[in-house]
């Protein structure tokens, strides 16, 4: 069976994000997938990249360079346990689903901190092994998120600009950089302003999509997809 990691960032289990996460666990488990959830708020995941991430001696104790120290620590098995655990989940996963509410045109800080700390050099990328030759190149990712604004606001001519522009740093700058192939995002627009019926329909649409998810082709990971 395939293995799925859901990295989930929402404080409230009863939220639409919480329900979307539960629907994914249920539907993918029904398909025989093994599903693991990293519930970042429940785990009290540390988003800050600090010296605490290196548990043995520093490579250069005179001047701290996080990227270099994390890379060296990864190579010698000197990263903190929470990072090693998350990296193992990523390593095992065929599909990574990121479930979150859009905050200020991006992911919540706790999830960005997961990206900063978990996807270290040597594990996820190592120049020139990036983009199509990134170290996580046999994996798929999908960003599933809710917005505060309506679909019209995030249209090409809308006040917030095309939603694809916002996906560029997340999908291209992080996932594609690490070699991960990216499936089209799943977006629930403005659930706070939707009726109970409309919110139910959002959950049904997600469950339906998950039924045939493994047949989907990844998006064309090129600037044209985002900015055409």
pLDDT given for residue 91 in this prediction = 98
In tens, the pLDDT along 145-189 reads: 999 999 999 999 999 999 999 999 999 999 999 999 999 999 999
Mean pLDDT of 82-93: 98
Question: Residue 3 pairs with which residues in a beta bridge?
Answer: 34
pLDDT given for residue 224 in this prediction = 92
pLDDT given for residue 43 in this prediction = 98
In tens, the pLDDT along 67-79 reads: 999 999 999 999 9
Percent over 70 (pLDDT), the chain:
100
pLDDT at 141 > cutoff 90:
yes
Is 3-227 a CATH 3.40.50.720 domain? no
Burial 176-189 (b: 16+ CB within 10 A, else e): bbbbbbbbebbbbb
pLDDT given for residue 221 in this prediction = 85
Mean pLDDT of 71-97: 98
Q: Please report, for the chain, the start and end positions of each structural domain, with discontinuous segments joined by +.
A: 3-227
Indicate the average pLDDT of the chain: 97
Mean pLDDT of 2-23: 98
Cβ atoms 24, 6 nearer than 8 A: yes
Band of residue 228 on the pLDDT scale cut at 50, 70, 90: confident
């Amino acid at each position: 069976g395939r293995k799925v990691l859901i990295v989930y960032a929402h404080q409230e289990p009863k939220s639409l994000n919480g329900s979307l996460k539960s629907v994914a666990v249920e539907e993918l488990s029904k398909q025989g997938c093994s599903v693991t959830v990293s519930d970042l708020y429940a785990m009290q995941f540390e988003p800050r990249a600090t010296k605490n991430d290196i548990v043995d001696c520093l490579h250069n104790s005179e001047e701290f360079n996080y990227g270099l120290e994390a890379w060296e620590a990864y190579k010698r098995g000197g990263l903190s346990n929470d990072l090693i655990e998350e990296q193992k989940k990523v390593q095992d996963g065929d599909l990574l689903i990121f479930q979150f509410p859009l905050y200020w045109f991006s992911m919540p800080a706790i999830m960005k901190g997961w990206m900063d700390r978990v996807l270290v050099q040597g594990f996820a990328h190592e120049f020139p092994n990036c983009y199509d030759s990134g170290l996580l190149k046999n994996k798929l990712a999908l960003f599933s998120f809710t917005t505060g604004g309506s679909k019209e606001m995030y249209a090409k001519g809308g006040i917030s600009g095309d939603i694809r522009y916002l996906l560029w740093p997340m999908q291209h700058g992080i996932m594609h950089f690490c070699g991960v192939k990216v499936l089209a995002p799943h977006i629930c627009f403005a659930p706070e302003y939707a009726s109970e019926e409309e919110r139910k329909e959002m959950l049904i649409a997600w469950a339906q999509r998950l039924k045939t998810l493994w047949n989907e082709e990844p998006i064309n990971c090129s600037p044209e997809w985002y900015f055409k």
